[in-house]
């Protein structure tokens, strides 16, 4: 596997336009996310540069643009709030250490080749989690939209102080925020090809604040430090280690999901195939470097990626050009951002929060599946009002239990017990039906097909209880594709019980994985070789003969 991403000069013009366009979009978003997180506008810029640079260098999706995103910012905001509340002196430093740890987890996920498994989550949980994050981002902007600093305490803190926030509204800043939101929503699509609405809103809002609202009380970004960021030594706290560890896992997993889902979008536009594991390593390196230099965590950004591709980018050179342009801004033009009103950035963040909410699914969730809708709405409520980790954990648990229950019900239909050929829907030949009739309920046929995972073991056990009175049991696994451990153990128990009761057991169609599993359990070895058949009719003939022999006083060993 090559170390660097696909970087080439064969598409220099397209990659140049793509990189410039992505940088223009990244600037207002980075400033907005930096301010919204509480780490400062410069942290957003550092994150946009470092995550974007290293993900472009070492990633596995050539056209992916990586930078701070809405979901990652919401998680990081919660991390900052928790750690500063527990340790006001070192809380911010520990928060950036969490970013480094999250990047480390992403590198490990990529090295272990877990990329293809990261996005294997129920859509109901992903939709609820993302929509909850969107709502959090919207609620956190209420204070800045009204011209005031967001109260401490996150979502609950804002909701508890909502009356005071509205009573202290600053009309001029709220008007600037309203102007920003109006531009973002109402800008005609034909103009978006020439200038990103976020940049237009940023410029117009800033100009209006100077020309019409030249009020010294309007809150602005202020001076951003110029030059390269300082190295931040990771800071650990024994008391907060568990919280830092869990937050890092959540941040890392969310970054993986965000990046890989965006990579799929990029693949659909470019007709290319990304390398999931390599992309996770690139994202991890980017987040490690961002955390070490005081930057926000980042992931694949859908908006920047799509716009960059549409502008002509085809290789990772566009991501490097984008990072270079932002670096120039932070080195020599950071002073120009000092006059940007915070209300304008709040308006941009509000629009991002609205876009994150999965409106398309939420409007139809109850029509598609009532239970799925309850999971989605439940995850939203837990995400917003309780905890992000709790929301994902409970959502996954409930969704998986429901899935397993449904699979078990479906697999139970593939477990059939036949003694009377007139009372079954199992496909039997006329000869097989005649044989079963002649057996007079002394021979039982247990037929398994498809995939038998642990959820099917209960059905096998329940069906097995129906064969207690038979003298011979035929187990037909000729249509069985996969035999799980739990189901194999239940099958072993049924066979051993029959042998202990001095009854005959015949196995039909043992092949492939099911046979290998039964051989490892030494089940097949306990059966005489003459009791293994390829055809069900031959097993029925042998079983009927054995029953007659037993009735005449023979032993199981003689038949």
The span from the CA of 311 to the CA of 288, in Å, is: 29
pLDDT values of the chain reduced to their tens digit, one per residue, 559 residues: 466 767 777 888 888 988 988 998 888 899 999 998 989 999 999 999 999 999 999 998 889 999 999 889 999 998 999 999 888 989 999 999 999 999 999 999 999 998 888 767 788 888 898 899 889 999 999 999 998 888 877 888 899 999 999 998 999 999 999 999 999 999 998 888 778 888 899 999 999 998 888 778 888 888 888 888 899 899 888 888 888 999 999 999 989 988 988 888 888 888 888 889 999 999 999 999 999 999 999 999 888 898 889 888 888 899 999 999 999 988 888 777 888 899 999 999 999 899 889 898 899 988 888 888 999 999 999 989 987 778 878 888 888 888 777 777 776 777 888 888 887 778 888 888 888 888 888 888 888 888 876 656 666 666 556 556 678 888 888 888 888 888 888 888 888 888 888 888 899 988 989 899 999 988 888 888 889 998 988 988 888 888 777 666 555 444 4
**346 plus 437 within the same structural domain:** no
Contact 36, 286 (CB under 8 A): no
**321 plus 436 within the same structural domain:** no
Q: Classify the phi-psi angles of 113: left when phi > 0, otherwise alpha if psi is within -120 to 50, otherwise beta.
A: left
Residue 112 is part of which domain span?
A: 12-356
The span from the CA of 384 to the CA of 78, in Å, is: 11
Phi, psi of 141, deg, nearest 5: -90, -5
DSSP 478: E
pTM to 2 decimals?
A: 0.78
**199 plus 343 within the same structural domain:** yes
Q: Please report whether residue 102 resides in a domain.
A: yes
**429 plus 345 within the same structural domain:** no
Which of 356, 382, 403 lies at the terminal end of a domain, its last residue? 356
Tokens at residue 161, please?
């102080």
* Exposed/middle/buried for residue 159 (C-beta within 10 Å: 0-12, 13-18, 19+): middle
**49 plus 152 within the same structural domain:** yes
**335 plus 444 within the same structural domain:** no
**349 plus 417 within the same structural domain:** no
**303 plus 236 within the same structural domain:** yes
Q: What dihedral angle (degrees, nearest 10) is formed by the CA atoms of 537, 543, 547, 553? A: 130
Q: Please report whether residue 402 resides in a domain.
A: no
**198 plus 302 within the same structural domain:** yes
Count H helices and E strands in the chain, helices first.
26, 7
Q: Give Cα separations from 431 to 109, 427, 437, 541, 549 (angstroms).
A: 56, 12, 10, 10, 22
The span from the CA of 14 to the CA of 19, in Å, is: 9
Q: Please report whether residue 285 resides in a domain.
A: yes
What separation, in Å, do the N-terminal and C-terminal C-alpha atoms of the chain show?
A: 60
The span from the CA of 129 to the CA of 305, in Å, is: 22
């Amino acid at each position: 596997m090559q170390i660097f991403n696909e970087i080439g000069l064969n598409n220099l013009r397209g990659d140049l336009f793509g990189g410039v366009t992505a940088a223009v979009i990244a600037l207002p978003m980075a400033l907005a996310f930096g301010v919204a997180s509480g780490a400062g506008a410069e942290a957003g810029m550092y994150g946009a540069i470092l995550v974007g640079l290293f993900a472009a260098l070492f990633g596995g999706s050539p056209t992916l643009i990586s930078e701070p995103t809405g979901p990652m910012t919401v998680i990081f905001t919660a991390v900052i709030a928790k750690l500063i509340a527990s340790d006001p002196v070192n809380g911010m430093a520990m928060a950036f250490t969490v970013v480094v740890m999250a990047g480390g987890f992403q590198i490990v996920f990529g090295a272990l080749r877990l990329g293809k498994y990261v996005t294997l989550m129920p859509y109901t949980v992903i939709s609820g989690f993302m929509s909850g994050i969107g709502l959090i981002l919207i609620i956190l902007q209420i204070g800045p939209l009204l011209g005031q600093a967001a109260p401490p305490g996150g979502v609950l803190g804002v909701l508890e102080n909502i009356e005071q926030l509205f009573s202290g509204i600053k009309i001029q800043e709220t008007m600037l925020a309203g102007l920003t939101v109006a531009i973002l929503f109402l800008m005609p699509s034909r103009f978006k090809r020439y200038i990103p609405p976020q940049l237009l809103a940023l410029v117009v809002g800033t100009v209006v604040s100077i020309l019409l609202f030249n009020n010294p009380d309007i809150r602005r970004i202020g001076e951003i430090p110029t030059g390269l960021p300082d190295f931040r030594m990771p800071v650990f706290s024994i008391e907060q280690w568990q919280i830092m560890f869990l937050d890092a896992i959540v941040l890392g997993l969310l970054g993986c999901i965000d990046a890989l889902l965006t990579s799929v979008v990029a693949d659909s536009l470019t007709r290319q195939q990304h390398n999931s594991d390599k992309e996770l390593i690139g994202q991890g390196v980017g987040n490690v470097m961002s955390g070490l230099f005081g930057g926000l965590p980042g992931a694949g950004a859908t908006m920047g990626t799509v716009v960059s591709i549409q502008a002509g980018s085809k290789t990772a050179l566009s991501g490097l050009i984008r990072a270079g342009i932002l670096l120039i801004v932070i080195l020599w033009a950071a002073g120009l951002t000092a006059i940007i009103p915070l209300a304008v950035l709040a308006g941009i963040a509000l629009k991002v929060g609205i876009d994150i909410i999965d409106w398309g699914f939420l409007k139809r969730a109850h029509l598609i599946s009532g239970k799925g809708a309850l999971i989605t709405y439940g995850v939203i409520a837990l995400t917003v009002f309780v905890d992000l980790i709790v929301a994902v954990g409970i959502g996954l648990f409930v969704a998986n239990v429901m899935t397993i229950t449904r699979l078990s019900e479906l697999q139970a239909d593939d477990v059939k017990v036949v003694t009377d050929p007139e009372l079954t829907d199992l496909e039997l030949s006329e000869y097989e039906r005649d044989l079963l009739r002649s057996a007079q309920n002394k021979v039982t046929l247990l037929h398994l097909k498809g995939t038998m995972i642990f959820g099917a073991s209960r059905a096998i056990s329940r069906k097995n209880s129906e064969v207690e009175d038979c003298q011979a049991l035929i187990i037909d696994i000729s249509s069985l594709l996969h035999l799980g451990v739990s189901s194999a153990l239940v099958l072993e128990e049924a066979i051993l019980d029959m042998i202990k009761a001095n009854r005959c057991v015949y196995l039909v169609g043992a092949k492939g994985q099911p046979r290998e599993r039964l051989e490892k359990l030494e089940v097949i070895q306990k059966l005489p070789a003459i009791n293994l058949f390829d055809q069900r009719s031959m097993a029925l003939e042998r079983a009927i003969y054995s029953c007659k022999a037993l009735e005449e006083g023979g032993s199981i060993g003689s038949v």
